[in-house]
Chain A
C-alpha cells in the first residue's frame, strides 16, 4: 500500500519519465480449471526492458500477461511491484499497467475520437498524439464499426499513448497491422523504453523491437 503511494507520487512529479520501476514474478503457478498452466515461473522486468514471450498455443502466454496485469491472481507465488502485492487490489495496481489483449476492446458504436476520449478520461491526457502516432486522424470521426480489423488494432494500440503506465503488456500486438503501421508501432515502443518504460509482449511473429529478452514458455 505504502509502496504504491510512492509510485503514484513519482508519476505525478516525474511526468513522462517512467524509470525506476521493477515488476517481479516469483514462483508463480496458475491453475485454470484442472490444468496447471504456469508452473513455478519467475521473471523480473526492470526499467527500459522488453521481454518477448514465445511458446506454442496454450502454453500460458496470455495467462502470464494477465497475471502481471493483476487480472488473474496466481494460485501460488506472487507478483510484486517493489514490495506491493498487486493481487490485493487490481484497481490500484492497474494504474501502472497498460494492457492490449488479443481483443481490441473498442466500442463499435462509438467513433475513433470517442473511444480515445474515454481512454483519456483515465489519464487525462490529450488525444492528439495518440491520433497522430498510428495515423488515425483521417478516421477520427468514423464509427469503429466501419473500420477494418487492422484499423481497429491501430486504435487499440494508440490507446497505449494515453496511459501513464510504466508497464505495457501486449498480446499479439501486431496482428492484422500493415508494414507501415508496424514501423510506427516500433517507434512507439522504442520511445516508451527510452523514457524508462517496460514491455512484456506475447507473440508468434517478430516484433519491431531490438535488444529484447526472450522468454520461452511451455
Chain B
C-alpha cells in the first residue's frame, strides 16, 4: 500500500512542477463554458436552461485533456516498467493514477463549477445539486478516463483513439449528471439521479482499474 501512496505523491509533485498543464485544463474549462453566452446570447432564461448541460460537457471535455500523459509519460521514459515490477499490481497502478487524475483535475473542476454555473445564470437552487452530482460524476470521469488511457497505451494514434473510447462510455454519466441539476431547477427531487450516479461510481471504482491493469500489462508486454 505504501507504494500506492508513493506513486500518488510522486505524480502530484510532478503535476505541481509542471503546473502549466494543470492550469491549462482549468482554463479550457473556463474558456469553453464562457463561449456559450457569446454563441447563444446573454438571455438568462436560455442560458439558465442549458447551464447544467454546458457545465457537464465542458467538465467532461476538460478532463480528457490530461489523460494521454497520465500513463504516456511513464510509458515513454521507461518508468512504467519499473512501476510494473514495483510489487504494486497493475490494477493498483491504474487506481493510483485515477486518484491522481481526480485530485489534479476533478477536484479543482468541482471548485470552479459553482462560479461557472453562476456565470451561466443557472437557477441558484440547482447549484448545490449540480455540485453534489459532480462529486461522483468527476470520480466516474477519472475512472473511465484512466481505464481507457491504460487500454490505448502504446497504440498508434492513441490521442485520437482515447476520446472516441471515453466519450460514449461517459454518456450515462452526462445524462444523469445534467439530469440531476435539471430536476432541481424544475423543483423535482434529484435524488434518483444522484443515487444512480453514486451506484455507477461504486461499481466503476473497483472495476475500471482491473480492466485498465490488463491494458497496462498488454502495453509493456
Contact = CB atoms under 8 A, between A and B. Distances in A.
Interface of A: 66, 69-73, 89-95, 97-99, 101-110, 114, 118-119, 121-122, 124
A114 B13 contact: yes
Contacts of A91: 84-90, 92
A71 B82 contact: no
A99 B77 contact: no
Interface of B: 2-3, 6, 10, 13-14, 17-18, 77-79, 81-82, 84-90, 92, 217, 220-221
Contacts of A73: 221
Contacts of B18: 109
A97 B81 CA distance: 11
Given A114-B13, A121-B3, A122-B3, A107 B87 contact: no
Given A105-B79, A107-B77, A107-B79, A118 B84 contact: no
Contacts of B87: 91-92, 94-95, 122
A134 B221 CA distance: 31
Given A98-B85, A103-B77, 15 more contacts: A69-B85, A71-B220, A71-B221, A72-B221, A91-B86, A93-B85, A99-B85, A105-B79, A106-B79, A107-B77, A110-B13, A114-B10, A114-B13, A121-B3, A121-B6
Contacts of A93: 85
Given A71-B220, A114-B13, A90 B84 contact: yes
Contacts of B84: 71, 90-91, 94
Contacts of B90: 90-91
A161 B82 CA distance: 14
B85 A118 contact: no
A131 B86 CA distance: 20
Contact of A106 (B2, B77, B85): B77
A95 B84 CA distance: 10
A109 B3 CA distance: 20
Shortest 6 CB-CB distances between A and B: which pairs?
A: A103-B78, A94-B85, A121-B6, A105-B78, A109-B17, A91-B89
28 contacts: A66-B221, A69-B81, A71-B84, A71-B221, A72-B220, A90-B85, A91-B90, A91-B92, A95-B85, A98-B85, A99-B81, A101-B81, A103-B77, A104-B77, A105-B81, A106-B77, A107-B10, A107-B79, A108-B77, A109-B14, A109-B17, A110-B10, A110-B14, A110-B17, A114-B10, A119-B82, A121-B2, A122-B3
Contact of B81 (A71, A106, A109): A71
Contacts of A98: 85
Contacts of A89: 89
A154 to B, nearest CB: 16
B78 A101 contact: yes
A70 B82 CA distance: 12
A93 B85 CA distance: 7
Q: Which of B2, B82, B89, B220 has the most CB of A within 10 A?
A: B82
B81 A107 contact: no
Contacts of B3: 121-122
B219 to A, nearest CB: 10
Contacts of B217: 90
A83 B177 CA distance: 52
Contacts of A90: 84-85, 90, 217
A110 B3 CA distance: 17
A31 to B, nearest CB: 12
A70 B86 CA distance: 12
A109 B12 CA distance: 12
Residue with the highest number of chain A CB atoms closer than 10 Å, among B79, B82, B85, B87:
B85
B202 to A, nearest CB: 25
